[in-house]
Amino acid sequence: MQQPKINKAFLLLLLAFGVFLAGSYALIYTLEPKSTHPSAQSVSMTAPTGGDFTLQSDQGPVSLRDFEGQLVLAYFGYTFCPDICPTNLGELSLAYRQLTPEQQQQVQILFISVDPERDTPERLRQYVDYFAADMIGATADAATIAEVAQRYGAVYVKIDDGSENYAVDHSAFTYVIDRKGRLQTQLPHAAGVDFYRDTMQNYLN
């Protein structure tokens, strides 16, 4: 069945303000407008539940509960992403570096790879170190990543072209998890360094 066309301007408006659709719990997740793969678009009729998870980093298992008492900003993407991930993570890292040292100790940015086939824990470490924000990169087997992504409302799809250089279309939200491990909200893609910094500070107050 052919999927109905979705007004891109409307999607961008929702993305810019991060609102609930029509005042309900319906959240809409979309890729950047340049995406040519509408199969990566998804509408969820229930609010994401979030919750604890355990993934693998180059230092071993990483669980959300490890960061109790800290503000966690989780982003789902992959290291071979040509522009979406570097742009968003770059702004998050700049915002992080504008915090005071005391505030930085209370914030953890977590990069979760949806491409476990290529993104080994070691590669993730090299990638996140580039952003100089004490970021942690982690992933898991495909089934675990799919389950965690679903609970947080992230969507993604592998564009299998038969080569090793395949792309993975993915939603581009940053998920804000409070000090008690509760998913609070999602932040729009590339909203700006000032916006991300102010958001972090608001949750730390």
Residue 148 neighbours by CB under 8 Å, 6+ apart: 53, 55, 112, 140
Q: What are phi and psi of 73, to 5 degrees?
A: -115, 110
Whether the Cβ atoms of residue 154 and residue 49 lie closer than 8 Å to each other: no
What residues form DSSP beta bridges with 167? 159
175 labeled binding residue: no
- Per-residue model confidence (pLDDT) at position 17: 35
pLDDT in the model for residue 46: 67
What tokens appear for 109 in the block?
């940015």
Count of structural domains, the chain: 1
Is 99 annotated as belonging to a binding site? Answer: no
Residue 55 resides in a domain: yes
Q: Residue 96: inside a domain, yes or no? A: yes
What is the domain extent for residue 120?
A: 48-204
Residue 125: per-residue pLDDT: 98
Does residue 142 sit within a domain?
A: yes
What is the widest separation between alpha-carbon atoms in the chain? 54
Q: Is 43 annotated as a binding residue?
A: no
pLDDT, residue 39, reads: 37
Helix (H, G, I), strand (E, B) or coil at 114: coil
pLDDT of residue 52: 98
* pLDDT reported for residue 154: 97
- CATH number for position 52: 3.40.30.10
Residue 22 lies in a domain: no
Q: Within a domain: residue 59?
A: yes
Does residue 165 lie within any of the structural domains?
Answer: yes
pTM for the full model? 0.79
Q: How many residues does the chain have?
A: 205
Per the domain annotation, does 88 fall within a domain? Answer: yes
Mean pLDDT, consecutive 10-residue stretches, the chain (205 aa), reads 41 36 32 36 65 97 98 98 97 98 98 98 97 98 97 96 93 97 96 98 96
Q: What is the DSSP letter of 119?
A: -
On whether the CB atoms of residues 116 and 141 are closer than 8 A, the answer is: yes
3-state secondary structure of 121: helix
Would 11 be classed as within a structural domain?
no
